[in-house]
Chain A
Amino acid sequence: MDIEFSKWFPVASTSDLPYRHIFQAQLLGREYAIWRADDGHVNIWENRCLHRGVRLSIGINEGSELKCQYHGWRYANRTAGCTYIPAHPADAPARTICNNTYQSQEKYGMIWTCETPDGTVPEIEGFGSYTVLRPIPINSSYKTIENFLTNVGIPKHQFVKSKSTVAWQFKLESGTQISFFIQPQNNNISILRGIYSLHIEGAEKIKILKHYNSIMVEIRDKLEKQDSPQLPDLEPKISQVSDQLSKIPVYGNQNQRFHLRVTVTEKVRISDNIIKLKLKSIKEQLPTFHAGAHIDIQLQNGLIRQYSLTNGPGETDHYCIAVKIEKNGGGGSKTIGENIAIGDVIAISSPHNSFPLLRNSKHTIFVAGGIGITPLLSMAKALHSMKLSFEFHYFTQSQDLSAFQNEIYKLGKNTNTYIDLTIDQTLSKIEKILETPSPLNKVYVCGPGEMIENTIKIGNDSGWNESNLRYEYFKNNNKIDNDSTFQIELARSAISLNVPSGKSILEVLTENGIKLESSCEQGACGTCKVSVLEGDINHQDVYLNSSEKRKGKVILTCVSRAKSDRLILDI
């Protein structure tokens, strides 16, 4: 036959795809792994893992991902993008390995595909309902079977000229129809498939299936007795991966930062949009953390994200984090939501503690907004266990209400939860909470940027000392200006370096082999803070408070720059 890569062919019956199964099919020489995900989508992929060529059909259908048997790589439903490489939890390169996928359609109780099919599966007249017959493999070419169906036909059935180029239709006197289809597996072997134009069940169905099975077996026996010429087998073209994917990724400098290996032991959806992860160390004891600390997580797609620990005091055998799944959010929350599974190994940093809890206050006020509750929860748990005085105010939306209810309940009486307040209602609540300033008390606030700004403003206006208003931004919404060029001098190591426009102080230090701890790298977490001995600073972070910024004694090296020609840093 002429190779028809643009025509639709049936390659499986719907019944070949039971729950969590992977079906192996072949068309025009190419093998396919066909599997139905739990959401109903039928995936048709080239039947080889792009890593070392192992058939994906011997893998495991995990419902939303397919796992390769050889090295445990996982590929996502629909996109076939690789989501997990167990051999390299850390230092994942920002690249996506994708298996080769093919279009799929489910029609007339069969799964259809081809290399590059045009349009949609053609309509076959008279098959509004149908019963799928048992397919029969035949050692014959497409052409040989086509000739037989067109010129010989089957007994007691009248050949109907079909409008479709994929079907051979036959009519009984009663008006019911049979339609045959040919699936050329390769040049000398095909599968004859058929459907019956009525939906039937039970004994009637068995009778019909047996009847047409014997007719199709007869067709096979006749064809296989014919002396047809053997054609050379089609060798499917193995497409090349991109040049980038063909190279071994370089050994990055991220390994030292992400030196801890943890395995996900729990992944629970605690509200519509929030997922809780419990992480346990694979080997060594996890480092001590302080209430308010966060960790950096290296995700499989190369993304790095920060999450606050929600652990209570003494919970030292694991780390707990809570992740908000943003509806249109970036790859980080999506990756955690969809691709991280229980048992996965991930690489994390040691906890950074740039939002420390000071325990010398007479009374502590926590103001939490949305997912900003996470560091404050850990702090409140610590104070609660020490029986120190605090009050906890949580502003949330009703859809996320269930997420932390249990944990808030355990904090005792001084907790208030406010649900679905407007901005004005929230502000007037916060005014009320902060109405009595005291130099002996402290306020901790975390939540959306606007809420933090407003809380600080209300606090200042009410007469709170700035140093008693403590906050943590999860992200820096300021536009970072990195145009300037200046010198930095490192006082302790007597080195002078040039910071060109487009590069941060942190990047210049790292390039010159000077290791400085960093985490969010957007001026929100304070990990990369260093002391400044001389020079004017252009602060661009959201970590330092305004009096710290005025004093000009510290700088966040990831975003802030010099106003003067040079800065002398105490490193």
Chain B
Amino acid sequence: MGATICTDKVILNQWHPISSVDDLKNNEQGNTILLEEDLSFNKISDEEVLIWKSADPSKKLLQAKLKYGYLWTTLGHPAPDLFSFPEFYEIDRRNVATGAFGVNISAGRAIENFLDMGHFPFVHTGILGEEPHTEVKEYDVSISENDDEILATKCQFYQPQAAVASSEGTDVEYIYRVPHINCAILYKSSPVDESRQDAIVIFVQPVGPEKVRAHTGMCIIDDKSADADIRLFQQTIFGQDKPILENQLPKKLPLDSRAETPIRADKSAIAYRRWLSQKGLTYGVIPSKDINLSRFT
């Protein structure tokens, strides 16, 4: 594998998304940056993609994995399997890659924004939220030790237009999963089938400690909307988040509990910061000086 610029084992030993499968073209070289390293990749068949460090004259291959609509690679030694995401394989769902967004911010800040409901009325006004429906009601957060992931359930938030077909707003229920330090999945009731949930994903590619590409995707039960409309929706939402994210100071996610002021609405973000601290992550974050990390409430 050779020396890497990034020396943080926690982030090195992860699978990282670098491209949507849709964007890969046979025998056409692509280039990207992961953890400050220039990488090149080339899809040679539907099953096989070659990835190497661009500057490596020997083109020694990095591990590659095609899963959940994305191409994943690593600069370290991750567990062989990615987290589970069974909805991706349900045959009546559509998986739409809704675009990769370059953002000058750390991966942690981007994930935290994805978990945050309180900003909907102010940042996604008229789409995901609207004043005066600003209250974030109590929800549950847990860290599953078996799966090593954060789960936030019973999240509810008022959405001005719950479905394309409805003209009235209503409370929508959300579930958030953080199964990977830089990936999160959001489930919300499907406007087409109330018994099932649409999934919206964000897989963040850390380009550097303060620079990411956020790969977004939707895994939804909807046979009507055109791909272009689904992409446009997600791009509108992310386009609203980007200027906020790029104006966060510091850009790295501070893990010290006394760096910022949480409120109850931030329970999932607090769990996320503690989870990262317990893993000993140092890349893209400002590590906590808090010694007592076991005290999770």
**Interface, chain A (partner B; CB < 8 A):** 31, 47-48, 50-55, 58, 69-72, 85-90, 97, 238, 240-243, 245-249, 251, 261, 263, 282, 343-345
Contact present for A50 and B261 (CB under 8 Å): yes
Contact of B135 among A31, A247, A251, A261 (CB under 8 A): A261
By the criterion CB–CB under 8 Å, are B263 and A249 in contact?
Answer: yes
Contacts of A51 in B (CB 8 A): 260-263
| Residue in contact with A87 in the complex, picked from B135, B261, B270, CB distance below 8 Å | B135
Which residues from B are CB-within-8-Å of A87? 118, 134-136, 263, 265
- Asked if A88 and B260 sit within 8 Å, CB to CB, the answer is no
Residue of A nearest to B253 (CB): A53
Asked whether B133 is an interface residue with its Cβ less than 8 Å from the other chain, the reply is: yes
Question: Which of A242, A251, A282 has its CB near the most chain B CB atoms (within 10 A)?
Answer: A282
B262 pairs with A246, CB closer than 8 A: yes
- Is the CB–CB distance between A88 and B132 below 8 Å? no
Q: In the complex, how many angstroms separate the beta carbon of A242 from the nearest chain B beta carbon? A: 8
Q: How far is the CA of A52 from the CA of B250 in the complex (A)?
A: 10
Q: Are B264 and A69 in contact (CB-based, < 8 A)?
A: no
Question: From residue B245, how far is it (CB to closest CB) to chain A in Å?
Answer: 9
C-alpha spacing A240/B259, complex, angstroms? 5
A31, A50, A251: the one contacting B264 at CB < 8 Å is A251
Q: Is the CB–CB distance between A249 and B256 below 8 Å?
A: no
Interface centre among A47, A97, A243, A248 (most CB of B within 10 A): A248
Nearest A residue (CB) for B135: A89
**Residue of chain B at shortest CB distance from A255:** B138
Residues 227-270 of B contacting A (Cβ, < 8 Å): 243-244, 247-250, 254, 256-267, 270
Q: Does B123 contact A (CB under 8 A)?
A: yes
Give Cα distance in the complex from A182 to B176, angstroms: 50
A238 and B250 within 8 A (CB): yes
Contacts of B116 in A (CB 8 A): 52
Partner of A53, one of B260, B264, B297: B260
B window 260-297: CB within 8 A of A = 260-267, 270, 297
Name the residue among B112, B132, B135, B136 with the largest chain A CB count within 10 angstroms: B132
In the complex, A71 Cα to B132 Cα: how many Å? Answer: 12
B249 near A31 with CB under 8 A, answer yes
Separation of A246 and B273 alpha carbons in the complex (Å): 13
Chain A residues, CB < 8 A from B217: none
- 22 A-B residue pairs with Cβ-Cβ distance under 8 Å, sorted by A, are A47-B249, A51-B263, A52-B116, A54-B247, A54-B248, A54-B249, A55-B247, A70-B119, A87-B134, A87-B135, A87-B263, A87-B265, A88-B264, A88-B265, A89-B134, A240-B258, A240-B259, A245-B258, A246-B261, A248-B263, A261-B132, A343-B131
Q: Identify the closest chain A residue to B171 (Cβ).
A: A283
The 9 closest A-B pairs by CB, nearest first: A86-B134, A240-B258, A263-B132, A87-B118, A55-B247, A87-B136, A246-B258, A87-B265, A48-B249
A97 touches B261 (CB 8 A): yes
Q: How far is the CB of B250 from chain A (nearest CB, A)?
A: 7
Nearest CB of chain B from residue A328's CB, rounded to whole Å: 30
Q: Taking CB as reference atom, which chain A residue is nearest B249? A: A48
In the assembled complex, the Cα of A58 lies from the Cα of B261 at a distance in Å of 19
In the docked arrangement, what's the CA distance between A48 and B244, Å? 12
Residues in B neighbouring A85, C-beta threshold 8 A:
263
Question: How many chain B residues touch the partner (CB < 8 A)?
Answer: 35
The distance in angstroms between the C-alpha atoms of A464 and B73, with both chains bound, is: 90
Given A86-B122, A261-B135, 9 more contacts at CB 8 Å?
Answer: A47-B249, A69-B244, A71-B118, A87-B134, A245-B261, A248-B267, A261-B132, A282-B132, A345-B135
Q: Which residues of A contact B260 (CB under 8 A)?
A: 50-53, 241
Q: State the majority secondary structure of interface residues on B.
A: loop
Q: Given contacts A88-B135, A282-B133, A343-B132, is CB(A58)–CB(B247) below 8 Å? A: yes
Distance of B12 from chain A, by nearest CB (Å): 25
Q: Which of B131, B244, B261, B297 is close to A70, meaning CB atoms less than 8 Å apart?
A: B244
Point out the residues of chain A lying under 8 angstroms from B256, CB to CB: 240
Residues of A within 8 A of B263 (CB): 51, 85, 87-88, 248-249
With both beta carbons as reference points, the residue of chain A lying nearest to B136 in the complex is identified as A87
- Give CA–CA (A246, B290) in the complex, Å: 12
B17 at the interface (CB under 8 A from A): no
A61 to B14, CA, bound (A): 43
Please name the residue on chain A nearest to B241 by beta carbon: A70
Residues of B within 8 A of A282 (CB): 132-133
Across the interface, do A86 and B131 meet the contact criterion of CB distance under 8 Å? Answer: yes
Contact A58 B243 (CB under 8 A): yes
* B208 proximal to A (CB < 8 A): no
Report the minimal beta-carbon distance from A98 to chain B, rounded to whole angstroms: 10
What's the nearest-Cβ distance from chain B to residue A329, in Å? 27
- Chain B residues with CB under 8 Å of A89's CB are 134-135
CA of A86 to CA of B122 in the docked complex: distance in angstroms? Answer: 10
| Complex Cα–Cα for A345 and B261 (A) | 21
Cα separation A69 to B241 with both chains bound (whole Å): 11
Distance to closest chain A CB from B140 (angstroms): 11
Given contacts A47-B249, A345-B134, contact A86 B121 (CB under 8 A): yes
Please report the C-alpha to C-alpha distance between residue A261 and residue B134 in the assembled complex, in whole angstroms.
10
Give Cα A85 to B118, complex, Å. Answer: 10
Known: A87-B265, A88-B264, A251-B138. A70 touches B259 (CB 8 A): no
Shortest beta-carbon distance, A11 to chain B, in Å?
A: 17
**Given the complex, which residues of A lie within 8 Å of B247, measured CB to CB?**
54-55, 58, 69
Nearest residue (CB) in B for A282 is B132
Complex CA distance for A344 and B135, rounded to whole angstroms: 11
Q: Are B244 and A238 in contact (CB under 8 A)?
A: no
For the complex formed, measure the closest distance between the CB of B292 and the CB atoms of chain A, giving whole angstroms.
12
The distance in angstroms between the C-alpha atoms of A71 and B131, with both chains bound, is 11
Q: CB distance B119 to A246 under 8 Å?
A: no
- Given the known A-B contacts A55-B247, A238-B250, are A72 and B259 also in contact in the complex, defined by CB atoms under 8 Å? no
Closest to A84 in B: B134
Q: How far is the CA of A249 from the CA of B254 in the complex (A)?
A: 20
Shortest Cβ distance from residue A255 to the other chain B in the assembled complex, whole angstroms: 8
Given the interface pairs A54-B248, A87-B134, A345-B132, the reply to whether A246 lies near B257 with Cβ below 8 Å is: yes
Nearest A residue to B269 via CB reads: A52
Q: Which residue of B lies closest to A52 (CB)?
A: B260
Neighbouring B residues of A50 by C-beta, 8 Å: 260-261
How far apart are the CA atoms of A241 and B290 in the complex, in Å?
13
B258 touches A53 (CB 8 A): no
